Amino acid sequence: MSRVLPHGSWPTPITSEFVVGALVRLDEAVVCDGDVWWSELRPEEGGRTQLVRATAKGARQDVLAGDANVRTAVHEYGGGAWWVRAGVLWYANWSDQRLYRWTAEGGSQPITPPPEHPRGQRWADGCVHPSGEVMAVVRERHLARGGAADVVNEIVSLPVEGGEPEVIASGSDFVADPRWSPDGEMLCWLEWNHPDMPWDSTTLRVRAGREDIGVVAGGPAESIFQPRWASDGSLWFASDRTSWWNLYRWTPGGGVEPVIEMEADIGRPQWVFGQSCYAFLGDGGVVFAYTREGREGLAIRREDATTVDLDLGYTAFDSVQAEGQTVVIIASSPTREPAVLRLQIRDGRLASVDAVRPPRDLGLDPGWLSVPEHVSYPSSGGRTAHALFYPPSNPTCRAPGNEKPPLLVFIHGGPTSAARSTLRVEVQYWTSRGFAVVDVNYGGSTGYGRTYREQLKGNWGVVDVDDCVAAARWLADQGRVDDRRLCIRGGSAGGFTTLAALAFHDVFCAGASHFGVADLEALAQDTHKFESRYLDGLVGPYPERRDLYLERSPIHHIDSFDTPLVVFQGLEDEVVPPAQSQMIVDALRLKGVPVAYMTFEGEQHGFRQAKHLQRALDGELSFYAQVLGFTLPPDENIEPMPVENL
């Protein structure tokens, strides 16, 4: 028989310790000579990333010994930190950012020299030449003076065992995806320049030998994603020229033609390197992941140009790779952890599925897991916004009488990103305690086409805030949540939206900012190169539109900021510097608004260490308990979060 307890105080096995134990993140997977390799971010090992290899015979083992941490700091967000060929691995190591070569016989050896100053040279997104002698790789050089203006991004050719690199492409602000053609005669890559981001405008260039063929696709208002050479020598890529990232191909000596056209995105915002949404099969088919209206699918385009969906029982797909008729993907769903799956394709159909790295059994009754509902609702200006709504779920508890649950509005980062239908144990941490959660895909989010994505152009701090406020009000009007206990939280860009919602609206009774932006002008003046001109598109050119930066910055509107706030910040954050959090905390403290502040040594942009992840979760829960007035389950022994002015 279920216990009757107020929302928020429900006992749950999904503690912060449980959450961290289930937070092993799978980022990239590949198949090479029948072996499957993938990366795992492990919070319990200090937040390091390990590589795992499963042989074709079924043996599985960690690849790297010691404290090696496979992670690159190129663009600060990284990705594409490792690549393999014929059993040889190359990877960037986090501590020194040097490039290493690993073999089963010889272990790891650095192949790039120590930089002149710490982490001064960074490497990512390598591709080995068909000859096996050299590789093309993205190099990011940080000059001694420091600052965004003193960072150089280029593509170099580097001998596979180390040596003097040769610059292949330079002069543009950013480069990505260097890829050799099957015969090794051509090299393609992406490039773009400030103030564009890669989902705004990129160009796809090709070089034959030392001859620059030039731009073959892309340009103003066209984003190119994942260029790859097919076995016939044609160059495939995703382009959003029709508002959707669809697949096209360029043929040397010919032109560009569409291959897969659909009202869905076969592409992602290129925050990190190494993403893959499609791969070539040995029989001429193509397997691809797509997103339509926020829902993801996996499909095969057969050699006869017909398309068939693959029903695997999963709802999110990453790192689509193939070798012959073998496909490797990372798949997840709202009730299962991510898994590395190996698919066999025969005659254009799914022949078998093998979980190389199966989802772990979390030991939970299904009743503990809240399954999200896709919802669409009206927002400002006659627009429609989208979200994932998670109702409370706990098989052992129910609320007294007609008590409605408090709501947590989750805001994804980016802001050019998306909430996805995957198992997020950090969401279940809240729903199993009696909270409802709405994960908002506000205007500007991806997975709904370029037109929806560009709703945020010039409107950051307006459209995103309006859509989050509208989500809370709509759910309250629907009678699904308590309109007196609406809370909002977010990290990074989501932290900015949180602070702006609290400064400019009186809808919420509490908020949490994780390394969020308080001062847009300060961010424009002090952040890393990759995003140093991002705000030109989101807000307006700086300093020409300084008025907008001041108008939308929460720090300049403390007079209307009266809502209790908790703030979490990593002290080594190069993306949103700690000063951003400190200034909003100091201002609220001085005004007498209830505020709590927690910082973490050794954390960058986004927390990775187990103890810090646990403390942030429990600290936020303790904060809400004090503000909303519910009691925490006593057996968890959660350390109270100190709240000033409460």
pLDDT digits (tens, 9 = 90+) for 579-593: 999 999 999 999 999
The answer to whether 439 and 488 have CB atoms below 8 angstroms apart is no
Check residues 45 and 480 and name the one with the higher pLDDT: 480
Span 43-100, pLDDT tens digits: 888 889 999 999 988 889 999 988 899 999 999 999 999 999 999 999 999 999 999 9
Determine the Cα–Cα distance for residues 326 and 606; give it in Å rounded to an integer: 34
Expressed in angstroms, the distance from the first to the final Cα of the chain is: 37
450 within a domain of the structure (yes/no): yes
577 within a domain of the structure (yes/no): yes
Task: Inform me whether the pLDDT recorded for 423 exceeds 90.
Answer: yes
pLDDT on residue 576:
87
pLDDT on residue 461:
97
225 within a domain of the structure (yes/no): no
pLDDT on residue 604:
87
68 within a domain of the structure (yes/no): no
Task: Inform me whether the pLDDT recorded for 149 exceeds 90.
Answer: no
pLDDT on residue 242:
95
Span 356-410, pLDDT tens digits: 999 888 899 999 999 999 999 999 999 999 999 999 999 999 999 899 999 999 9
DSSP 3-state assignment of 296?
strand
Task: Inform me whether the pLDDT recorded for 644 exceeds 80.
Answer: yes
Any idea what the CATH number is for the domain that residue 396 is in? Answer: 3.40.50.1820
Note the Cα 599 to chain centre separation in Å: 22
Confidence of residue 25 (pLDDT cuts 50, 70, 90): confident
Task: Inform me whether the pLDDT recorded for 321 exceeds 90.
Answer: yes
Q: Could you tell me how many helices (H) and strands (E) the chain has, helices first?
A: 10, 38
Read off the tokens for 256.
């560009």
Determine the Cα–Cα distance for residues 161 and 550; give it in Å rounded to an integer: 51
Structural domain boundaries, residue 457: 364-636
Averaged pLDDT for residues 131-160? 92
Nearest to 49 by CA among 24, 29, 22: 24
151 within a domain of the structure (yes/no): no
Confidence of residue 483 (pLDDT cuts 50, 70, 90): very high
Averaged pLDDT for residues 627-631? 95
Domain tally for the chain? 1
Residues of the chain with pLDDT > 70, as a percent, come to: 100
Confidence of residue 146 (pLDDT cuts 50, 70, 90): low
Confidence of residue 608 (pLDDT cuts 50, 70, 90): confident
Task: Inform me whether the pLDDT recorded for 642 exceeds 80.
Answer: yes
Task: Inform me whether the pLDDT recorded for 464 exceeds 70.
Answer: yes
- Output the average pLDDT for the chain: 95
Determine the Cα–Cα distance for residues 550 and 522; give it in Å rounded to an integer: 10
Secondary structure (DSSP) of 314-376: -SEEEEEEEETTEEEEEEEETTEEEEEEEEEEETTEEEEEEEEEPPP-----GGGPPPPEEEE
| Integer CA distances (angstroms), 599 to 156, 470, 502, 590, in order | 39, 31, 21, 19
The answer to whether 615 and 14 have CB atoms below 8 angstroms apart is no
pLDDT on residue 145:
67
Task: Inform me whether the pLDDT recorded for 37 exceeds 80.
Answer: yes
Residues of the chain with pLDDT > 90, as a percent, come to: 88
pLDDT on residue 1:
66
Task: Inform me whether the pLDDT recorded for 24 exceeds 90.
Answer: no
pLDDT on residue 57:
82
